[in-house]
Structure 1
Amino acid sequence: MAAGWQRQDFSSPTGAMLALYETPPAAPVKGVVHINHGLAEHAARYAPFAEFLAGRGYHVAAQDHRGHGYTTAKDGSPRLFAKRNGWKKVTEDTAAVNAHLRARHPGKPVFVLGHSMGGTVAMNHVMRHPDTVSGAAIWNANFVTGGLAGVMKLVLFFNGLGGASKPAGTIDALTFKAWDKKFRDDRPAFGWLSRDLSVVDAYVADPLCGWPASVSLWRDFLKGMQYAADDTHFARVRKELPFHLIGGGSDPATEGGKATRQMAERLKKAGFTDVSAEVLEGFRHETLNEIGAEAEMAKFADWLDQRVG
């Protein structure tokens, strides 16, 4: 982990002890970027991005979500958000970190960014607490709706007969394992994450990454996806709020960026006036760990600078 990405314990009102990473204090600070990581990974992996943004004048923070990384909770366990109301507690943890950042930098704009599952967390935060953010970046995310959500609920019901804390084997097979097959010529597992196989090797070697999520966690995550997919939850969000969307043209998790394009269309249809969306040709799932990531980091920092003014 890079020296400029420092971990501390942060006590959440939900009872979780969050592993919270932040860049060191710097002056002047233009704004704040609050990162939410994806499923089966952790916030320490965002160190290079955090240090890059810090160099552009932004304070950056990210917490390990419940069930991930070094975060602990008496009502949870590794690979599980909480025994009850898991998604609610994840979003409350996120809101607590947001409040901490706003208190630390009063008057400064706070941008929430989420990758994959973190994109769902970020969208839920925007919908629930729209006055606490100055913009949202939703990267490589896909919100399940309609018949597919029904199928997932049915599969999780049967997977859960062996216990909600057990791995959701069928869902894992339909997602991670199915995506592996598309890139098996590159690497037997997790080649769908990036064309940079050294990054994929590091992910596979990391004991805090790549694990099969529990039935309970998937059930909670599905609730979050359905909440994020409901346009009625945009009612309190000001239409000038900037959105920055990214998808990978070769990312199976977003159907080759189809989910990103649909999200952009949905936001514009809902009346949002500042929507930036790009599907990156050749990119797989992890934009920040792809070949060519440096250019995308710079473009995002430029986007932030324009919104900060």
Structure 2
Amino acid sequence: MTLLGYGEEIRRIRAGKYMEFDMPSQASTCRVNTITAGSNAEWLTSFHESDHDWLFVPRSVLCVEVGVDINTIPDDIHVYRMDTRVYPGHCMMVLERSASASFTFINYALCSDEKWNIVLSSDLFLDEMSNLTSEGGVPLERAGPALSRAGGTGINIDGVWVVRCHCPVILQRWAQRPRLWPPQDVVDKVVSLGSVVTTVGFKGSINRYLEWRICFNMGEVELVNTLNIAQAKVFVILKMILKEVLKPQNKEITSYVLKNVILWQAESNTPITFQERKLIHWFIDALETPRNAISSAQLPYYMIPERNLIAACGLQDE
């Protein structure tokens, strides 16, 4: 595994390089932050090993939890209140306050819900962002929230537009549960990184075109980067098994599901027990979880356990 490029030293080198890609978008003149996501951000793949995943985060939009004081938020930001009375891990974004300056892509994505609240539609927002990012590369078939384009180097670029989300209650609920991992300083950092909502409603909902999924991309990257080398290698082997052996047709098991398997495994065991000489033991242990998840159609999301990661995925007996 180390010779294949999954050792600790090469991961650290990758970390610095990927951070260099993100730095220009953090300048104060940029209206959209670009953040490296996926396996690249987790230092688990080299530059040309897999597709490039990026988050596009507009600075002019913010989603907040009920109870958050919006008077502390600058006037040039559109503020939406989270309505979480939907499937766990999802929400609707109800307009709380328009920004002092209007942005066309936001206005075109607004509509009314059944109670005549003005809400930001995830479907319409994604359509607007698709038009906004129509230049550069060859567009590919849309896959979930990702707007994919074929790059000139043979590497596809998956861009996901998200909205910043301030949800302290949800994050504190995660932070305060009993655990053996990660250490408290990492827990605090994950909380400080906050969350985003992305343009994915619950598959079984009649209002899914209005709904958004609550995600913790930056925090999850921090958690994966905190795994020791043995845990990271187990994660990589699981993804190899997924790609080369399981090859799921209906995407019922994905690399994201496997990431959650690894995070639950790490939280439930003392870190010192994860040693490279026990790699196969922990791999077999981790492989049991997706097997049980498939048979029961149940796998709780690591950050919000009430959300079932494989709910409404269309699993069949075979």
The alignment's TM-score, normalised by the length of structure 2, stands at 0.33
Q: Indicate the structure (1 or 2) with the bigger Cα radius of gyration.
A: 2
Q: Comparing both structures, which one devotes a greater share of its residues to helix?
A: 1
Q: Which has the higher contact order (CA 8 A, sep 6+)?
A: 1
Q: Comparing both structures, which one devotes a greater share of its residues to strand?
A: 2
